[in-house]
């Protein structure tokens, strides 16, 4: 089901009901309004909330930030399709046919996604950049293979003279490239996220790797689904993504307006602003990727027989059945097909890593905006500053590690599981492990710093400047989250 109605409902709910709730809370005379009235009589009216129509409550502030983060995660993060043998432990506990087990397992998977996105959104961003770079190349290769296969088959069937044959083939190629059955970047995303599965006896056996899909297209054994069919499988559409982008930009505009009007901004809003910046980049990279697809398209498994086509693999030409490497199966089942791209195309991995780390540094630098904020205690102030420095310095260190690795390894590294490829030796073997060593060490420092910043964002809400409760006047007229 598309998520646009859900996001629109949240927006209208926040825009229409929260003001009413704020008036009810105001009638109950909360502490911050009492303090406001006291200070208003002492000539501090420029920094206090002396008009209910210009005030916001603490619960409204927190709700706005949390819903903005939730909207970012729900629409920005595009998980891959679950593997055929992937059964969550909750489903094993209650049974695969149990309604309770299905509901709990799906919610638990969503919960894991939310936690990962909160702690390491940069990981999702790097994955998104890598996937879009790969999807562009795959879409071009698949479409070229489809057109060439169709033209070749048609050329063999045309028996007229060469000139008529050339005209007919050119006309056919034009028609093939303008049909709705062409391979687009959305199809490439769908393929790489495990969108096609082999079925045998009505049971899914294994996902098709990209090279297997390409071989089937060359053999004219696989027709691409239409874009409408893929949109029907996706839980997100242009409307839901546009609503989420609008909410993200709206939150950014509010923060800028508060800065211009010299209204206090809370640490929680700074944290939310950082998330909105990084998710805007994910929106752009994953705009054409289907969202939250649970069931793949079935492909009938072919039996190995004498008519099995000859497929060239490396230096060998064997009469083989379309098969999969165990590394590909494990990667797709674990929702991490990008693990293969690290070896298949290190250039894309390098640049996606650099882009992701650069945006991660911007993400961390946003926390410096709260450097001189008023904190409840000096300990919290210095904890915020140290953690802000850490989440900028750590991506910088990883960037240096990637550059060093690329300098000493200019050639794409081989797939270690392939016995036909040579094993890297010498000094390059040691530089190959530089990113692998740096990443876990940096994670041990980065994740605790991120968790501490999240905790500080909420702990500092207990003591806010009174101007933090003032609203920008024009925000009261437009429904928003």
DSSP string of 51-62, one letter each residue: -GGGB--HHHHH
Write the Ramachandran bin of 335: left for phi over 0, alpha for psi from -120 to 50, otherwise beta.
Answer: left
- d(CA 458, CA 133) in angstroms, rounded, equals 38
pLDDT in tens, the chain (481 residues): 455 555 555 555 455 444 443 443 334 334 433 433 333 333 333 445 666 667 888 888 999 898 888 877 777 888 888 766 555 555 555 555 555 555 555 666 667 777 788 888 888 888 888 899 899 999 999 988 988 887 777 666 555 555 555 556 566 665 666 566 789 999 999 999 989 988 877 777 888 889 999 999 998 888 888 888 888 888 776 777 777 778 788 888 888 888 888 889 999 999 999 988 888 888 888 889 998 788 888 888 764 443 444 333 333 333 333 333 434 444 443 444 444 444 434 576 777 778 888 888 999 999 999 999 989 999 999 999 999 999 999 999 888 888 877 777 665 544 444 444 444 444 455 555 666 677 788 888 998 999 999 999 999 999 898 888 888 876 554 555 5
Residue 481 in any domain: the answer is no
Quote the domain boundaries for residue 368. Answer: 326-471
pLDDT at residue 115, rounded to an integer: 79
Residue 34 in any domain: the answer is no
Say which DSSP state 80 is in: P
Tokens 């929680």 map to which residue?
A: 268
Question: What six digits make up the tokens of 110?
Answer: 């969503």
Contacts of 4 (CB under 8 A, 6+ apart): 237, 239, 240, 243
> Would you list the DSSP string of 327-338?
HHHHHHHTT-TH
Tokens 């300098």 map to which residue?
A: 407
CB 327 within 8 A of CB 340: yes
Residue 11 in any domain: the answer is no
Q: Where are the beta strands (DSSP E) in 372-470?
A: none
Domain tally, the chain? 1
Say which DSSP state 298 is in: E
pLDDT in tens, 257-311: 888 888 899 999 999 999 888 888 888 888 899 987 888 888 887 644 434 443 3
Output phi, psi for 467, to 5 deg.
-70, -15
Question: What six digits make up the tokens of 385?
Answer: 């500053």
CB 464 within 8 A of CB 35: no
pLDDT in tens, 42-91: 333 344 566 666 788 888 899 989 888 887 777 788 888 876 655 555 55
Residue 277 in any domain: the answer is no
Residue 279 in any domain: the answer is no
> CA 183, 324, 343, 190 torsion: positive or negative?
positive
Query: pTM of the predicted model, to two decimals?
Result: 0.70
Residue 409 in any domain: the answer is yes
CB 231 within 8 A of CB 331: no
Residue 318 in any domain: the answer is no
Residue 344 in any domain: the answer is yes
């Amino acid at each position: 089901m598309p998520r646009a109605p859900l996001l629109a409902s949240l927006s209208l709910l926040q825009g229409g009901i929260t003001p009413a709730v704020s008036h009810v809370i105001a009638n109950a005379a909360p502490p911050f309004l009492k303090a406001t009235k006291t200070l208003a009589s002492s000539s501090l009216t420029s920094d206090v909330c002396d008009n209910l129509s210009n005030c916001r409550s603490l619960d409204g502030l927190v709700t706005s930030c949390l819903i903005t983060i939730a909207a970012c995660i729900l629409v920005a993060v595009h998980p891959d399709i679950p593997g055929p043998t992937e059964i969550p432990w909750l489903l094993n506990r209650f049974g695969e046919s149990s309604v309770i087990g299905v509901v709990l397992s799906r919610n638990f998977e969503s919960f894991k996604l939310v936690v990962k996105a909160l702690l390491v959104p940069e990981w999702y961003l790097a994955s998104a950049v890598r996937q879009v770079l790969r999807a562009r190349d795959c879409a071009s290769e698949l479409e070229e293979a489809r057109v060439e296969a169709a033209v070749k088959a048609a050329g063999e069937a045309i028996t007229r003279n060469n000139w008529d044959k050339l005209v007919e083939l050119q006309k056919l190629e034009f028609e093939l490239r303008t049909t709705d059955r062409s391979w687009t970047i959305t199809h490439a995303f769908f393929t790489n996220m495990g969108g096609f599965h082999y079925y045998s006896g009505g049971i899914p056996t294994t996902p098709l790797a990209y090279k297997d899909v390409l071989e089937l297209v060359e053999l004219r054994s696989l027709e691409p689904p239409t874009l409408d069919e893929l949109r029907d499988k996706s839980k997100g559409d242009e409307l839901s993504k546009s609503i989420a982008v609008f909410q993200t930009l709206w939150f950014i505009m509010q923060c800028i307006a508060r800065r211009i009007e010299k209204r206090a901004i809370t640490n929680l809003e700074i944290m939310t602003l950082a998330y909105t910046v990084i998710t805007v980049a994910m929106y752009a990279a994953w705009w054409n990727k289907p969202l939250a697809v649970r069931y793949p398209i079935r492909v009938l498994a072919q039996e190995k027989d004498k008519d099995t086509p000859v497929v060239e693999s490396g230096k060998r030409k064997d009469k083989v059945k379309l098969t999969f490497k165990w590394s590909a199966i494990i990667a797709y089942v674990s929702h991490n097909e990008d693990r293969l791209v690290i070896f298949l195309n290190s250039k894309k991995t390098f640049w996606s890593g650099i882009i992701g780390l650069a945006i991660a540094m911007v993400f961390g630098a946003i926390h410096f905006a709260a450097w001189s904020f008023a904190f409840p205690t000096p300990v919290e102030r210095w904890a915020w500053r140290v953690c802000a420095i850490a989440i900028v310095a750590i991506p910088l260190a990883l960037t240096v590690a990637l550059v060093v690795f690329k300098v000493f390894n200019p050639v794409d590294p081989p797939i270690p599981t392939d016995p036909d490829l040579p094993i890297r030796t010498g000094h390059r073997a040691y530089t190959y492990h530089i990113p692998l060593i740096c990443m876990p060490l940096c994670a041990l420092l980065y994740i605790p710093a991120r968790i501490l910043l999240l905790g500080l964002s909420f702990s500092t809400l207990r003591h806010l400047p009174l101007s933090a409760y003032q609203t920008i006047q024009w925000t009261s007229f437009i429904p928003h989250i």
